[in-house]
Amino acid sequence: MTAPFKPCIVVPVFNPGPALARTLEGLIATGYPLFLHDDGSDAATRAELARFKTDHPSLRLSRWEVNQGKGATVCEALRAAHTAGFTHALQVDSDGQHDLGAIAAFLALGEARPEAVIAGVPRYEGPVPPARRYGRRFTHAWVHLETLSFDIGDSLCGFRLYPLAAMAGLMDRVVLPARMDFDTAAIVRLHWQGVPVLNTPVTVTYPEDGVSHFHLLRDNLRLTRLHTQLVLGMLMRLPALFGRRLTRKPEPAPDDPHWSRIQERGTALGLRLTLWTYKLFGARALRFLTEFVAAYFFATGGAARRASRAYLARLFEQSGPLPDLPRAPRLRDSYRHVRAFAHSYVDRFLAWVDKGDRDIGFPEEASFRAQLVSGQGAIFLSAHLGNLDMLRGLGAARGFKGLNAVIYSDHVVRFQSLLKDINPDYDLDLIHVRDAGPGTAMLLEEKVSNGECLFIVGDRPPAAENGRTLAVPFLGKAAPFPIGPLFLAHLLQCPVFLFFCVKEGGRYTIRMERFADRIALPRKGRDGALRAWLERYALAVEAQCRATPLQWFNFYDFWGDAAPESRP
């Protein structure tokens, strides 16, 4: 029988400066038991810790007189938590870099998957020291080799939920590094012994008054030595690791599967390789390389394969045979689907790395230009279908202004970062949203009032919990569609156009049609009016899926989110 989930928080402390008080106040406010271990801090830090202990007697505080290192300190706190009967411990650094608002999500995921490590993947806000950024890329590449997988999203993040039984067993068997190389060694070795790793984003900032104890030369040398040891350990475990890859069962779907929690696969180093390949050998070589990348991700992406097969089967059942899907879909068709997605990323990349004009058909371009110069703002409603980024590349090349793309991009931060590096214009008209709050609505209203255009995709449930969906028929079964884009159009009282950029015969074509002069949602019967508009939109997406079956890129259980409908 599995023990009840009993979590706590462990904090290694060594002279973190002013951030200590902010961090401890935030942690105490969560109400979870707190284990602090002081790694030989100075008198000022000891006095601050003593004050907190006096004000909060339940806080567990221990200390060493002489500094022994972050790794040793974390291990000491984890042992104390395990001895006290806790089942899980969330490691939080005391330097104030991590968003404590993520604690609830980490613990909820830990309770749902008690056998797994919940690993933080940094989502940076503000500037990042170059040494940290490049050091992470170096470590990520080695960790992927050492585990023969992309399972570990970030091995250096100090925000991580450990299952204490597995961690205690590891500490009993292996002497883990005592310094800054601890985090990487711990998660790689847990992965080797079969502990699942679930990656979850956490916002990271570097406070102006923050204190870092990472020594650029000394700690990077420690990491280099560690990776040498881990690579040798990987070679010794090679048969077992390969066997696990071949026999591993797919991860069970969580209770609330959601596309926004599917993190991008691949590494920053791999994306840089894309850029180098293009610069050295050109677009043709890049497309050749993409064939191997697509084959690899198809072979290792079980969830994407299943989602593709389910979508294609549903499409064929409702509308087949189709020109690009002449018979019931097979495994080969799912591969073609994944391959089309991979090449769409290459096309996006080329649209921005090459500032020249692109060969894009646009039959309604005159109407589009007329709308832009009319001074009247508009909403262009699209879907995760084809390649909307091609329009933005075309707009940058032809001088179109005011083309604002409203996106949620937290799950593709590395690819977004690459595009911003190669062409600074990429981020000019991107509006990144994380929630459906008033601030977002006011910003979008300002854009439309200025006569600008908003490009919004409407075929995924909102990433934020405060968004609302309605279930409407899509390919024969109810699926959740967000009401946000249509409700926004109602509030702004602006024209709405349908807009798709799809690949036909090796060439992109932009399809545009007027959806509504205005979206009217009367207070009486509003849900019914919303449902009618959403059904019209879903039918338009269905029609485009029939025309280009392999270009609808929602590789998750799209219909599985439909029940129950979400409420405000």
301-346 per-position pLDDT tens digit: 788 888 999 999 999 999 989 989 999 999 999 999 999 998 888 8
CB neighbourhood size of 455 (10 A): 22
The full set of domains in the chain, from first to last, is 7-246 (3.90.550.10), 268-344 (no CATH), 355-561 (no CATH)
pLDDT value, residue 434: 56
Confidence (pTM): 0.56
Is the bond preceding residue 564 a cis peptide, omega within 30 degrees?
yes
Question: At how many degrees (to 10) do helices 130-147 and 216-236 cross?
Answer: 10
pLDDT value, residue 198: 92
Two tokens at 376? 């009247």
Q: What are the strands, taking DSSP E only, across 140-241?
A: 160-163, 197-204
407 in Cβ contact with 456 (< 8 Å): no
C-alpha span between 542 and 89 (Å, rounded): 47
CB neighbourhood size of 148 (10 A): 15
At residue 272, φ and ψ (nearest 5 deg) are: -65, -35
265 in Cβ contact with 299 (< 8 Å): no
Tens-digit pLDDT string for the chain (568 aa): 567 899 999 999 998 888 888 899 999 999 999 999 999 999 999 999 999 999 998 999 999 999 898 999 999 999 999 999 999 999 999 888 888 988 988 998 899 899 999 999 888 776 666 655 656 777 888 888 898 888 898 898 889 999 999 999 999 999 998 887 899 999 999 999 999 999 888 888 876 665 565 665 666 677 788 888 898 998 888 887 777 766 665 554 444 444 444 444 444 445 566 667 777 888 888 888 889 888 888 887 788 888 999 999 999 999 989 989 999 999 999 999 999 998 888 887 777 676 544 678 889 988 988 988 888 999 999 998 988 777 665 665 566 677 888 876 554 555 556 555 555 555 556 676 655 556 677 788 888 888 888 988 888 876 554 458 889 999 999 998 988 889 889 988 999 999 998 988 788 888 999 999 999 998 888 889 999 999 999 999 999 999 999 999 988 888 875 444 443 3
At residue 7, φ and ψ (nearest 5 deg) are: -95, 160
Express each pLDDT in 30-41 by its tens digit: 999 999 999 999
| 3-state secondary structure (DSSP) of residue 10 | strand
C-alpha span between 143 and 183 (Å, rounded): 12
In the DSSP assignment, the letter for residue 17 is T
Two tokens at 535? 């059904």
Q: Identify which of 56, 54, 72 has the alpha carbon closest to the alpha carbon of residue 64.
A: 72
pLDDT value, residue 96: 84
